[in-house]
C-alpha cells in the first residue's frame, strides 16, 4: 500500500440523462460526431478507463451496480489540465457523477530493481 493522489468517482445527482441501463450484445466503441458510444459498461470499468486517460487512479465510490450505456467525448484536450476539466464537466452534466481529489493508500505493485 502506498499513499498517493487519486480521484474518487461519486454520484452527485442520480437519474442523470446520460446514464442509461446497459444494452447487452451491442457493438461498443463506435465513434460518431465526436462521441464514443459505450455500451453495456460497468462504472468500475469507466473509472479504470478514466484513470488510464487522466494518468491518475480513479476509485469507483458510486455504489452503482450493473452496466450502462453512455456517450463519451472523443477529444479530451491536449494537456492534463484540459483533459481533467473536460472529463469533470462531462461526468457531471451527462452522468451525474463527480471526481473528488484526495490522497489515500492504494494497493500498488512496486518494482524496485530489475535483474539483467
State pLDDT tens for residues 42-76. 999 999 999 998 999 999 999 999 999 988 888 88
Residue 112 lies in a domain: no
d(CA 75, CA 15) in angstroms, rounded, equals 25
Residues 6+ apart with CB under 8 A from 80: 54, 55
pLDDT attached to residue 27: 65
Residue 15 lies in a domain: yes
pTM of the predicted protein model: 0.83
What does residue 101 show for φ and ψ, rounded to 5 degrees?
A: -75, 145
Question: Residues 105-116: what's their mean pLDDT?
Answer: 83
> Of 20, 26, 103, which Cα lies nearest the Cα of 68?
20
pLDDT attached to residue 32: 83
Residues spanned by the domain of 90: 2-105
Where is pLDDT greater, at 115 or 41?
A: 41
Residue 114 lies in a domain: no
d(CA 82, CA 97) in angstroms, rounded, equals 18
Number of domains in the chain: 1
Residue 52 lies in a domain: yes
Residue 115 lies in a domain: no
Q: Whose grid coordinates read 460526431?
A: 33
pLDDT digits (tens, 9 = 90+) for 2-25: 899 999 999 998 888 888 888 887
d(CA 20, CA 15) in angstroms, rounded, equals 9
Residue 111 lies in a domain: no
Residue 81 lies in a domain: yes
Residue 111 has pLDDT above 90, yes or no: no
Amino acid at each position: 500500500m502506498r499513499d498517493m493522489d487519486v480521484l474518487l468517482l461519486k454520484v452527485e445527482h442520480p437519474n442523470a440523462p446520460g446514464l442509461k441501463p446497459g444494452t447487452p450484445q451491442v457493438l461498443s466503441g463506435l465513434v460518431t460526431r465526436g462521441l464514443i458510444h459505450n455500451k453495456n459498461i460497468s462504472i468500475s470499468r469507466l473509472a479504470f478507463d478514466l484513470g488510464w486517460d487522466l494518468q491518475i487512479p480513479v476509485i469507483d465510490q458510486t455504489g452503482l451496480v450493473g452496466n450502462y450505456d453512455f456517450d463519451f467525448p472523443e477529444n479530451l484536450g491536449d494537456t492534463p489540465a484540459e483533459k481533467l476539466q473536460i472529463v469533470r464537466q462531462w461526468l457531471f452534466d451527462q452522468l451525474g457523477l463527480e471526481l473528488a481529489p484526495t490522497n489515500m493508500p492504494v494497493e500498488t505493485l512496486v518494482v524496485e530493481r530489475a535483474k539483467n
